Structure 1
């Protein structure tokens, strides 16, 4: 029993270490980007229904390789649009995401990755690509130049 408990604690701590530090508030993201001289990566996704979104999450965002590259350069901002009732966002968060979509994702693409400067000005955009985390990171930061 004690071994199982230690294993479960270790597993939970491991998940914490490898999870992306996602922001969900636009104003907070802009403040963090300004303070840290970083760019904002706004990700429009359907976390529980969009297959390419789930792939992008698994193949890029959740990899240790990407997270190591991103930590000093990027603020990750998530605008999720789940469909399943159990994943429903608060009304406030849903309205916030809708406002972001009205401004940055008028065509309703998923996944849609919008690269923003610290003032919230769009400097580039990407979608899902079958590539390495490093190459995806390099594409993101190339918009900064």
Structure 2
């Protein structure tokens, strides 16, 4: 009986790992913006406290680690993680970028997920990126299906 439990746990952990490996979470705003503009997709900006925020971890486990979310995200958005950890040190440039975006979007709590279209209001040689905000959300009950339905409503509203 113990062998079956161990095998089942290993199988489940493999599924979660495979789902996470499929996702590409960018951390560089400019890089993610270029991809979003090229692919014609909105950015999904995930503001998180990865090593201290319980609701952030819960959102990742209940939504982001599921195949439904992985498939949806690959099709519909470019993922950008903006982390505010307490126990690990981020490079200064990344910290500054995350802080600036937090201020720009008025993020006051975690997790916060903003959806925005990226527009270049400059030139190719001197880009000036602008975010056209579509809406924001955070953790919500109901798992990946409910979360995706709410996200769809935000990115598809006219």
Distance apart, 1:141 and its partner CA: 2.2
Listed as ranges, the matches of 1:4-23 within 5 Å are 15=17, 18-19=20-21, 20-23=23-26
Paired residue for 1:112? 112
CA contact (8 A) 1:43 1:77 kept: yes
2: CA distance, partners of 1:17 / 1:64: 6
Paired residue for 2:122? none
2: CA distance, partners of 1:17 / 1:63: 6
TM-score of the aligned structures, taking structure 1 as reference length: 0.81
Displaced runs of 4 or more, over 3 A: 14-17
For 1:81-129, what per-residue CA distance to the aligned partner results, in whole angstroms no more than 9, with x for missing partners?
A: 0001xx22111111111111110134x2111111111322111000111
Paired residue for 1:143? 154
Paired residue for 1:53? 56
TM-score of the aligned structures, taking structure 2 as reference length: 0.75
2:100 aligned with 1:89:
no
2:29 aligned with 1:26:
yes
Structure number with bigger Rg: 2
More RCO (CA 8 Å, sep 6+): 1
Change (3 A) 1:138 1:53: same
1: CA distance, partners of 2:20 / 2:92: 29
